[in-house]
Structure 1
Amino acid sequence: ITDLMDNFAIYFGHVVSNTFYPLPTRAIGVGSAFEGWSPREEDVVYSVLVPLNPPQRHTFHLEPELDTAGQRPGRNFRVRVELECTCTREQQWENVLCFLHHPEEQLRRNQDPSLLHTLCTDSYLDVHKTARWFYQLVGATWPALPQSHNWHLVLLPSTRSCQFRVTNGNESFWIEMLFGVREGDTDIFVSSQPREVYTPRTTWPETYAVAEMKFFRHIARQAPPDSMHLKCLQFFTHVLLGIGFSTYTMKTIVMHLLGVIPMSRWRRRDFLQQLLYISEMLRSCVEERCLNHFIVGNRRLPEGISLPPEVQMAETRSLFYRLKQDPAAHSRAMSEYHEL
């Protein structure tokens, strides 16, 4: 998968260089498949986040959307696209026309349209348009990739990502290419991955997937060979299939416990004890209607995980905020816990 994504990145670069489309950079593997705890090994989805840089003569500005409830554990953004004045460069490059200061008719005749006219809606980068463009990009570059000689590509429908399967008769891999914009030089991005059932097409939710992947990588470096921390997480995600608690809830609980319980106590002999710890923490969080987000407001992350100050210093947000707002939801959650 990594080799395939690296090859895509190389050919994406060839295709979009010297255009006014976003510049995809090397994909980052995120989520359970790359963290080592996929709930269902027979149907693994390999999610990768493709960072996008603005094309030449454009800039990206991240604008946070107002959270009227003030409860959500993650922020939503819009990516405003602005054009740069290139008048001073026209003397150096004859074919450079300034998007801001040349007549539209002249621009139409002599230059490709700006990003504002291709993948944007009302000056904001449009997730749906970007996804369609990614599908075109994957389809156009696939024949040039070495993998195309032995593998078959099948594109799968999605409005907020580019999903496809590659098969060679014996093996099959389901890949989801998400795309995002990095917040500064940190490990936090805004991405195309939706957080709610309905996410507007110009909304880019903040994602902590890269920081979480780096946390699991940090833990793996410290873990003894027979560490069962991933097996514990995998066990609970299996148990919870069809029950109301999300896999992200269990992942968050395990990350919190990994942050406080020494790795020497996650060995094979400790497996049952750690399952009890996880179960007990879930019960306690449901009873108290509070499960703090692991990344937002966490000032004790390992060195090497970079957060924007407004994320690191933020007030902690609970994944269970709806349980406080809705007594019926809290009752259901307690019942679901007792069903485990």
Structure 2
Amino acid sequence: MPVGIFRVCLVVITAIVNHPLLFPKENGTVPENTEEIIQKMKEREESLRLEQLRLEQEIAAQEATQKALEKAAEVVEESKEEKLWRQDFQEGNWQDMGGEEDDMAVLGKAFKGVAFPDKAVLASFYEKRILGTTGDMARMREMVEGFADDLLEALRSVCNRDADMEVEDCMGVGSMYENWRVRKPFVCDLIVPFAPPEPYCFRSQIWCSGDSFPPDEQGYGTIKVCRADEDVTGCICDKTKLGEDMLCLLHSQANPTRPSGEMEDLLCFKNTQYLDADQVMKWFQIAVTKAWNRISHKYEFDLSFSLLDSPGALKIKFRSGKSIAFNLTPVVQYENSDVYFISHFPRRGLAADLPSSTHWFLTFAVYERRFIQLVSKTLPANACHVSCLQILSFLHGKQCSLTGPSGLTNYHLKTVMLHLLQTRPSQDWAPEKLEARLQDMLKFLEKCLHEKKLYHFFVGNGKVPAELSLPIIFQRAEPLNLFRPFVLHRDVYRKTVDTFHEMLRNMPALINEYTVHIP
């Protein structure tokens, strides 16, 4: 530090000594006026300004080049990921579980220094913290289902049967109906299938139907509103562009282009025949409001829409101040299966944005519930598969409340359980093996995060039990990677991995805290 001060002082002294106005040289001349000095200062200022501008342009160009390189790297990495997925699919590999040595190689750093709770502590934690919520869920489901049935019956009565959509009975899906939800407030998820009025019908096209869909539309489909007798012959005039001098003798006069107003009344996107999810939700909200106005006198509570960004989120408010929340979401059935196009996902996390309002995501929630019920019949009494999922969901939720949300969702955790249920022998899920199976889930999840690859359980899975009657088109499709967004959103990926590792480190403390201090 003293050396630096000495150097500064030396420079100042040298500048003063050599200043032409203080110590002019023998042949030096002092200007008679300051105009020349001012002019030189202006020229110097302009030169510096131009130099600064040039440097700013160079920096901006470098930043643009860097962004372009990062974007290109993301595209290359995404392309590599897709090639790997296709290679796995073509070679018959399905969500490689990996051997014990591979797992430990991946998990070495994550599990280093973690004191995993023993069987007794886990059993006590589950009994005191989680098991008591089962009865509350059953009572809430019964109350919500009864009210939803009454509300939908009133909705049918206020709708125009000749012009409005036809609403069917609702179905319960998700954690509340699979008996593994642990975090409060409890929220029931109900889906409501609907169909167009006669003589119209829905004709859907999904991403794995053979046509080329871009990567960001994998898992989606579109729904076209047609007349029931339209294109029944499979005519190609609706699929290809005919020349100006060509005419389809079957459909040119029989099915003239319908007015745009008629299609908008059928909740289609402007000037198209494709069902618009945004218009569907607006129609559904209006219809629910009218239905509630018709039956509100029968109930001693109020009903309102609880969230602006979730159009189907409803809340029952009692006079005592208590409330019950549930989601009522309109869906469209895919052909004659239990796969449904869903207009939006309540509480959706990573990559929640749809490509457009005419793209509908496909949900396999009904098949997931049926698969769990089917497998449960083959497992030992009081099997630990649901217990493992509940504990993992609880720990992850608590960690997110401490460090903020991550890219992992409860749906990812359930998918991990579904994969393990299919690969593990039935006897491995005995209640006394809770500790081992919970470690299996954590190891498998860590491996998937490391590889940025977690396949959808049903899409591309040729080992789905035949009893479920899952459409073969989904079993033969290429696997659908639920972790694909992590390839594109590196900041979210880093946050997710950090949160997961932090959860592992905090797991013993969280379990001990919520086991000892139970109110």
Aligned letter for 1:293? H
With over 3 angstroms needed to count, the CA separation of the structure-2 counterparts of 1:117 and 1:141, relative to structure 1, is closer
Aligned mates of 1:117, 1:330 — CA distance in 2: 42
Q: 2:188 aligns with which of 24, 28, 46?
A: 46
**2:410 is matched with which residue?**
247
Query: 2:163 aligned with 1:14, yes or no?
Result: no
CA shift digits 1:221-251 (9 cap, x unpaired)? 4444422322211211222232442222211
Q: 1:232 aligns with which of 388, 397, 402?
A: 388
Q: Secondary structure at the residue paired with 1:190?
A: strand
Q: 2:200 aligns with which of 53, 58, 66?
A: 58
Q: 1:2 aligns with which of 135, 145, 149?
A: 145
Q: Secondary structure at the residue paired with 1:35?
A: coil
Q: Secondary structure at the residue paired with 1:46?
A: strand
Query: Does the CA contact (< 8 Å) of 2:224 and 2:273 recur in 1?
Result: yes
Query: Does the CA contact (< 8 Å) of 1:76 and 1:204 recur in 2?
Result: yes
CA shift digits 1:105-140 (9 cap, x unpaired)? xxxxxxxx7453352213222212211211122122
Query: 2:226 aligned with 1:82, yes or no?
Result: yes
Query: 2:307 aligned with 1:153, yes or no?
Result: no
Q: Secondary structure at the residue paired with 2:181?
A: coil
Spell out the pairing of 1:44-123 with structure 2 (5 A cutoff): 44-64=186-206, 67-69=213-215, 74-83=218-227, 114=262, 116-121=264-269, 122-123=272-273
State the identity as a percent: 23
**1:215 is matched with which residue?**
371
Aligned letter for 1:306? S
**2:337 is matched with which residue?**
186
Aligned letter for 1:338? H
Q: Secondary structure at the residue paired with 1:38?
A: coil
**1:269 is matched with which residue?**
432
**2:357 is matched with which residue?**
201
Farther off after superposition, 173-182 or 188-197: 188-197
- Report the RMSD for the aligned CA atoms in angstroms: 3.1
Query: 2:455 aligned with 1:292, yes or no?
Result: yes
CA shift digits 1:302-339 (9 cap, x unpaired)? 34423232212112222223455677766555444432
Deviation at residue 275 of structure 1 after TM alignment: 0.8
Aligned letter for 2:374? H
Deviation at residue 174 of structure 1 after TM alignment: 0.9
Query: 2:176 aligned with 1:33, yes or no?
Result: yes
Query: Does the CA contact (< 8 Å) of 1:20 and 1:115 recur in 2?
Result: no
Aligned letter for 2:357? R
With over 3 angstroms needed to count, the CA separation of the structure-2 counterparts of 1:160 and 1:167, relative to structure 1, is closer
**1:95 is matched with which residue?**
none
Q: Secondary structure at the residue paired with 1:142?
A: helix
Farther off after superposition, 53-62 or 327-336: 327-336
Aligned letter for 1:139? T
Higher alpha-carbon Rg: 2
With over 3 angstroms needed to count, the CA separation of the structure-2 counterparts of 1:294 and 1:56, relative to structure 1, is same
Q: Secondary structure at the residue paired with 2:382?
A: coil
Aligned letter for 2:316? V
**2:328 is matched with which residue?**
177
Normalised to the residue count of structure 2, the TM-score between the two structures is: 0.55
Query: 2:286 aligned with 1:140, yes or no?
Result: no
Aligned letter for 2:463? R
Query: Does the CA contact (< 8 Å) of 1:46 and 1:176 recur in 2?
Result: yes
**2:130 is matched with which residue?**
none
Q: Secondary structure at the residue paired with 2:470?
A: coil
**1:96 is matched with which residue?**
none
Aligned letter for 1:197? A
Query: Does the CA contact (< 8 Å) of 1:23 and 1:53 recur in 2?
Result: yes
Query: Does the CA contact (< 8 Å) of 2:407 and 2:492 recur in 1?
Result: no
With over 3 angstroms needed to count, the CA separation of the structure-2 counterparts of 1:185 and 1:6, relative to structure 1, is same
Aligned mates of 1:180, 1:226 — CA distance in 2: 34
Aligned letter for 2:151? F
CA shift digits 1:245-276 (9 cap, x unpaired)? 22222111011111222444323311111111
Aligned letter for 1:43? P
With over 3 angstroms needed to count, the CA separation of the structure-2 counterparts of 1:36 and 1:76, relative to structure 1, is same
Aligned letter for 1:133? W
Aligned mates of 1:198, 1:103 — CA distance in 2: 30
Q: Secondary structure at the residue paired with 1:135?
A: helix
Query: Does the CA contact (< 8 Å) of 2:305 and 2:311 recur in 1?
Result: no
Q: Secondary structure at the residue paired with 2:176?
A: helix
Q: Secondary structure at the residue paired with 1:124?
A: coil
**How many matched pairs?**
317
Gaps of at least 5 residues in structure 2 are 1-143, 231-253, 401-405, 505-519
Normalised to the residue count of structure 1, the TM-score between the two structures is: 0.81
Aligned letter for 2:175? S
With over 3 angstroms needed to count, the CA separation of the structure-2 counterparts of 1:218 and 1:318, relative to structure 1, is same
Q: More strand by proportion, 1 or 2? A: 1
Q: Secondary structure at the residue paired with 2:303?
A: strand
With over 3 angstroms needed to count, the CA separation of the structure-2 counterparts of 1:149 and 1:270, relative to structure 1, is same
Q: More helix by proportion, 1 or 2? A: 2
Q: Secondary structure at the residue paired with 2:454?
A: coil
